[in-house]
Amino acid sequence: MSTTWFVVVMLALLVLFAGGVRLPVARAGWRRRLSRGALVVGAAGLVLLANVALYRHDTHFDVTRSHAFTPSPEAQRVMGSLSTDVDLTYFYQKQNPAGRAAKRMVEIMGRTHPRLHVRTVDPDQQPGLASRYGVRVYNVAVLEADGRRIEVVGTEDRDLALGILRLTRREEKTICFAEGHNEYDIENMEYHTHFEGVHTHSHGAEGIGVVLMEKHGMGRLRRALESLGFTAKKVILATAGRVPAECAALVEAGPRTMYSPQESRALAEYLARGGAALLMLDIDFQVEPGLAAVLAKAGVRLGEGAVMDPLDHYFTDEQMVAVTRYAPHPVTRGLSLTFYPGARPLELVPAPTITVSPLFSSSAASYVRPVRGGTKSETARDTPRARVLGVAAEGPWPQSASGKPFRLVVVGDGDFASNSFFPYMSNSDLALGAIAWLIGEERAPTMRPPVEVLPTVVLTNRQVRGIFLVTVLVLPGLAVVAGGMVWWVRRR
């Protein structure tokens, strides 16, 4: 609508200019002076009305290739989804180029989103206002809504959008991480998840005989959840005996020892109450019979062995399965490439009243290789076919008195969400998308929390081969053919 107003105003100005050019000049005397005065007054009035129309229907154009003066699409979605008024006071430093750029950005967001009320302040010129808000540093945004207030330090529109998501969240939700089975630790230094196993450093099947180094795990996932306004908490099912009611979702991140029957019953009771769980179960996790029965009720069976994909894999390791195609589901919305270092296959089993959906699979050329200590009966390469790696299930739990629908996501790998691989490609989007679906926020505006890694381009083996064929064989071959044709024509 604002673009239409802009076009209308510009056409009106062009008509005014053309009329002024073609207007006949009156003869000398009072008529000439009157015509000139009327023309000046009319032009000034039209310009004033045009500015009023543009001010009331603001349109922002950014002709830079990188859209340097436009908020990111994610931030735009967050601002556009506001259902309550938010006051944003940004304290910037005039001498800081990043601060000046952030000032312009928040002013653009305030003009284009009526629910966002923006005020920019130089604390050097208004120290009293900064003191009243308790601001002692530059480039700080104070966000206020419905009596709540938070501060966001930064110059990126993504940081401000994440702050608005935290501010407008109606309730504080707790994401519980299970402990007691050597899972990935969420309280760590957020660096590379390190394994030293029987074949030195490994994330795949050879990593079964490993020592998990301390200070590594899923700190990046925890910090991403906290930046989105969630609370991360550890839960020990063996001692608690049940999943606490405050847990909006339970995350089981790569357990390495077998569950006890009591813990399996606690998980079943939690799902029967309408709970939500994300189970990331690696190839070396031995399934307790009670847990297998719980998963079977939900329509999922854990396979044995490691999936090998000679067609779609990360670099040269067939065990690092890469996925570029996904089944339509809220969890997989907007995903590009994800990869799984050492994944076990999953199977779907009949489950009445429960909707079970495969999320993603390996390529049709993949096969399963037995691992040390595994019980796989099928051979390694005799049946190449697509293997399901991720499953989502929802519905009322069988024989449950509550009748509340549960939600469950099972992935046959836990490494993809660890510090080693969480920031790369769409791995973080998958982990955060699964949690958002579990807690019922799949339709909420999404933001990808910033993770401190360099931008990279990751290709699957199929893509690498395609590029090789085009650049090394096809293009040089075309040049040779063209040269041969030129030679043949000239020799005649």
Q: CATH code at 213?
A: 3.40.50
From the number of C-beta atoms within 10 Å of its C-beta (0-12, 13-18, 19+), residue 222 rates as buried
**Which two three-digit tokens encode residue 159?**
């940081």
Based on the domain organization, do 190 and 158 belong to the same domain?
A: no
Contact predicate 224/451, CB 8 Å: yes
pLDDT beyond 60 at 355: yes
Residue 269: count other Cβ atoms within 10 Å of its Cβ. Answer: 16
Q: Let me know if residue 426 belongs to a domain.
A: yes
Question: Smallest Cα–Cα separation from 121: which of 129, 109, 112?
Answer: 129
**Residue 194 and residue 215: Cα distance in Å, rounded?**
9
pLDDT of residue 322: 93
The tens digit of pLDDT for each residue in 162-178 reads: 888 888 876 778 999 99
pLDDT tens digit sequence for 440-458: 887 665 555 555 555 556 6
149 and 234 housed in the same domain: no
**Which range among 51-55, 158-162, 302-306, 404-408 shows the weakest confidence by mean pLDDT?**
51-55
446 is a domain residue: no
Nearest C-alpha neighbor of 271 from the set 421, 376, 162, 404: 404
Residue 448, in any domain of the structure: no
28: confidence class by pLDDT, cuts 50, 70, 90: low
pLDDT at residue 378 tops 70: no
Q: What is the predicted pLDDT for the residue at 215?
A: 44
Query: Helix H segments across 23-126?
Result: 30-56, 73-80, 97-112
Total domains present in the chain: 4
Q: What are phi and psi of 278, to 5 degrees?
A: -115, 115
- Residue 450 confidence (pLDDT): 56
Residue 457 lies in a domain: no
Q: With contact defined as beta carbons under 8 Å apart, do 90 and 102 qualify? A: yes
Q: Which residues pair with residue 388 across a beta bridge? A: 346, 361
Are 79 and 113 within 8 A, CB to CB?
yes
DSSP state of 472: I
Q: What is the DSSP string of 183-194?
A: PPBSSS------
Cα 359 from chain centroid (whole Å) = 16
pLDDT in tens, 120-153: 999 888 888 888 888 888 888 999 998 888 888 8
Let me know if residue 61 belongs to a domain. Answer: no
> Could you tell me what percent of the chain has a pLDDT over 90?
37
CA distances to 224, 269, 285, 374, 472 from 241, in Å: 28, 10, 21, 30, 61
Q: Does the pTM exceed 0.75? A: no
Task: For residues 429 and 475, state if they share a domain.
Answer: no
Residues 333 and 415 in one domain: yes
Residues 208 and 109 both lie in one domain: no
Q: CATH number of the domain that 83 lies in?
A: 3.40.30.10
Are both 299 and 432 inside the same structural domain? yes
Same domain, 20 and 121: no
Q: Is residue 81 part of a domain?
A: yes
| CA nearest neighbour of 156 among 445, 457, 419, 447 | 447
How far are the Cα atoms of 57, 88, 193, 223 from residue 188, in angstroms, in the given order? 49, 33, 10, 10
Q: What is the pLDDT of residue 491?
A: 77
Residue 259 has pLDDT above 90, yes or no: yes
Measured in degrees and rounded to the nearest 5, phi and psi for residue 216 equal: -135, 155
Asked if residue 252 and residue 196 are part of one domain, the reply reads: yes
Best CA proximity match to 387, nearest among 315, 458, 306, 461 = 306
Q: For position 33, what pLDDT does the model report?
A: 74
374 — pLDDT class (breaks 50, 70, 90): very low
CA dihedral sign, ordered 462, 467, 469, 472: negative
Name the percent of the chain lying above pLDDT 70. 80
CB 175 within 8 A of CB 249: yes
What is residue 379's predicted lDDT score, i.e. its pLDDT? 43
pLDDT value at residue 193: 52
Task: Dump pLDDT digits (tens) for 395-417.
Answer: 999 888 878 999 999 999 999 99
pLDDT exceeds 60 at position 358: yes
Once rounded to an integer, what is the mean pLDDT over residues 283-288? Answer: 92
Residue 424 belongs to a domain: yes
113 and 163 fall within a common domain? yes
Q: What is the pLDDT of residues 412-423, one digit of tens each?
A: 999 999 988 888
Residue 237, number of CB atoms within 10 A of its CB: 24
User: Poorest-confidence range of 4-13, 32-41, 131-140, 248-257?
Assistant: 4-13
Are 33 and 105 members of one domain? no
- The boundaries of the domain holding residue 360 are 174-438
Q: Is residue 236 part of a domain?
A: yes
What pLDDT is stored for residue 214 in this prediction?
Answer: 47
Q: What is the mean pLDDT of the chain?
A: 82
Q: Which residue has the higher pLDDT, 358 or 444?
A: 358
Question: Which tens digit of pLDDT belongs to each residue from 208-236?
Answer: 554 444 446 898 899 888 877 789 999 99
> Quick check: 426 and 335 in contact, CB under 8 A?
yes
For the residues 347-365, what does the mean pLDDT come to? Answer: 94
Same domain? For 115 and 209 the reply is: no
